Amino acid sequence: MALYPYTLQPVDINLTEEEFHKAQFELFEKTNPSYGLKNIKMKEWIIMAIVVAVSIAGLVYVKGYSTFIFYLMLVLVVLYILVRTIGMKWYVQREFEKQMAEQEMPDEMKQLKLGVQKHGLIMAMPSPNAGLQTNKAMRGMQMRGSATQQAVIPWTAVKSWEETDDYIFMLFEMQGQQGSQIIPKRLQAQKFPIDTVRTHLQEVVPVKGLQPQAIGQ
């Protein structure tokens, strides 16, 4: 009896273009630093504190039109904080959306099925042709021709992986061929063992975090 549950046959992931982009965006938010107040450096806080202190002192001890400069200094501090947080996040997100608008989901992923076995992740898709062939979607791996063509990604081939609320991402390398795979967690409703996938990934790569530089090492 297997230690973890596995699939009896591959499960259709039914990945849509919209979900593909959603997965990429979740990964982007996960792997990129947040642009909150905690990301402002100590040196910047010190400079802003000095400016605020000078401004407040000026408003207390200086009267008349001269106080305008001190109000302006306070406004500039607030604007700087907004630019370093909300403004920076908006800019980076806009650039990411531009890149995603130019990126299309591979057609092969629309028919892809995934299975889980002790020796690795099973990738399957319909095949109209018989015989041994190579499929670009499977990163150059040879597929056994039949009604369904399959390839196996051994867990030991996984170089790094990451996880968000809705997806698991993995990078792998086989025979010099590099590849990646998105696993929607919603597949668990179809009895796809997400926990088993996570367990095997933790066994080969204990620390999460996508590391493209690990490919080829």
Of the candidates 173, 181, 164, 186, the one whose C-alpha atom is nearest the C-alpha of residue 25 is 164
pLDDT in tens, 70-117: 999 999 999 999 998 888 888 888 887 787 777 778 777 888 999 999
Residue 211 has pLDDT above 80, yes or no: no
The mean-pLDDT minimum among 44-48, 107-111, 122-126, 188-192 falls in 107-111
pLDDT over 90 at 31, yes or no = no
Q: Which residues, in sequence order, are bridge partners of residue 133?
A: 143
Instruction: Give the confidence band of 176 by pLDDT, cuts at 50, 70, 90.
Output: confident
Helix (H, G, I), strand (E, B) or coil at 76: helix
pLDDT at 137: 46
In order, the DSSP letters of 188-204 are GGGT--HHHHHHHHHHH
Q: Which of 2-16, 97-111, 179-193 has the lowest mean pLDDT?
A: 97-111
The predicted pLDDT at position 140 comes to 47
Which pLDDT score is estimated for 127?
A: 73
pLDDT average, residue stretch 118-134? 73
| Cα–Cα distances in angstroms (integers) from residue 203 to residues 74, 93, 193, 197, in the given order | 53, 34, 16, 10
Task: Say yes or no to pLDDT of 6 above 60.
Answer: yes
pLDDT value of residue 26: 87
Please, what's the b/e burial string for 35-59 (b: 16 or more CB within 10 A of its CB; e: otherwise)?
Answer: beeeeeeeeeeeebeebeeebeebe
d(CA 76, CA 52): 10
Flag whether pLDDT at 162 surpasses 70.
yes
Q: How far lies 108's CA from each of 16, 34, 80, 127, 154, in Å?
A: 11, 33, 46, 11, 20
* 34 band by pLDDT with thresholds 50, 70 and 90: low
Longest dimension (CA), the chain: 89
User: According to DSSP H, which parts of the chain are helical?
Assistant: 17-31, 42-61, 68-82, 88-102, 194-204
Provide the residue count of the chain.
217
Q: What pLDDT is attached to residue 175? A: 83
Mean pLDDT over the full length of the chain: 83
Contacts of 21 (CB under 8 A, 6+ apart): 100, 105
